[in-house]
Amino acid sequence: MKGTIVINEQVVPNVKRLVLEAPAIARRAKPGQFVILIPDAEGERIPFTLSDWDASEGTITIFYLEAGVSTMKLTRLKPGEAVHTLVGPLGKPTEIEKFGTVLLGGGCYGLGGIYPLARAFKEKGNKVIALLEARTSYLIYNEDKIREVADEVIIATADGSRGVRGHVWESIKILEERGENIDHAHFVGCTYMMMTSSNATEPAGIPTVVSLNSLMVDGTGMCGCCRVLVGGETKFSCVDGPDFDGHLVDWGNVFARAGAYVAEENLAYQFHQSRADGAIKEDGCKNCSKEAV
């Protein structure tokens, strides 16, 4: 059945691999696209990048982090259970051209998200260099899959426990120092990484694409929630993107919009965690007597 969970397993701390039955999405998926799902009947719509798909098996793969209430609900679903709603593929596919040498940088869920890009750019005849970043060595995942399709894989860890000490943007400098001629760059992951990496490629004039992860609601261009400023123009990430020119994105605007509901999100997260742990019952909090919200 569409949306039935095949696998929902932890791959490294706080990152889960979710394989869902979704034959129609698996048949039409293209690199760079995403899906929106609702974990349960009371849940909200959450977008996830397609990290892989198998048309013959009728499945799609997502890597996700527990960030708040909805992703927490998702972590608790088991194989055989189904998410409430699943729609996709959404967004414009990434433009896969023969550029020459393509640099792909991934951090956070982007270690999953760059895999289909690496595969497609390689199939198109490019030399593919993949930069994988994490805080520490044991948070690197999906490396084997990316090595299958990339010409070179560079690991960067913030604590220096493996590979380059630092982040994607520091590794870009190392590539430049060794004289690597990069024709195209694409970054997937947290906003800060995509911004700093775009800043790193700009002086060298390397055309750079980022997969923006703006807040989304409907995912069809109707609500305006995902709007971003790119080159001074308003764009909707869900239908005009999620890929945009990293050198034209107004990053201040992206950060401001992403942080708009952080206080409410944190409150809701703490409340739901407490309820799941039994400290708050459906009808209110047994510690402070406040009613459930």
121: contact with ligand FAD by CB under 6 A: no
CB of 113 to ligand FAD, least distance (A): 6
Chain residue at closest Cβ approach to ligand FAD: 68
236: contact with ligand FES by CB under 6 A: yes
* Beta strands per DSSP E along the chain: 5-12, 15-21, 34-38, 46-49, 52-54, 59-65, 85-90, 101-107, 127-134, 152-157, 164-165, 184-188, 208-211, 227-230, 233-236, 243-245, 280-281, 284-285
Closest CA to 246 of 199, 283, 182: 199
For tokens 């892989």, what's the residue? 52
Supply the DSSP string of 134-175, one letter for each residue.
Answer: ESSGGG--SHHHHHHH-SEEEEEETTSSSBEES-HHHHHHHH
CB of 69 to ligand FES, least distance (A): 18
217: contact with ligand FES by CB under 6 A: yes
Phi, psi of 37 (to 5 degrees): -130, 160
214: contact with ligand FAD by CB under 6 A: yes
7: contact with ligand FES by CB under 6 A: no
12: contact with ligand FAD by CB under 6 A: no
Find which of ligand FAD, ligand FES, none residue 222 binds, CB within 5 to 8 Å per kind.
ligand FES
260: contact with ligand FES by CB under 6 A: no
Piece of 189-197, 198-206, 219-227, 278-286 that binds ligand FES (CB under 6 A): 219-227
261: contact with ligand FES by CB under 6 A: no
Are the beta carbons of 7 and 18 closer than 8 angstroms? yes
Residue 63, classed as helix, strand or coil, is: strand
Strand partners, 64: 16
69: contact with ligand FAD by CB under 6 A: yes
Q: Which residues contact 260 (CB under 8 A, 6 or more apart)?
A: 215
Phi, psi of 240 (to 5 degrees): -85, -20
Residue in 129, 238, 254, 280 binding ligand FES, rule: CB under 6 A: 238
33: contact with ligand FAD by CB under 6 A: no
C-beta closer to ligand FAD: residue 70 or 201:
70
Are the beta carbons of 169 and 199 closer than 8 angstroms? yes
C-beta closer to ligand FAD: residue 47 or 89:
47
User: Interface residues with ligand FES (CB under 6 A)?
Assistant: 216-219, 221-226, 236, 238
User: Interface residues with ligand FAD (CB under 6 A)?
Assistant: 34, 46-49, 62-65, 67-71, 109, 113, 213-216, 242, 258, 262, 265, 269
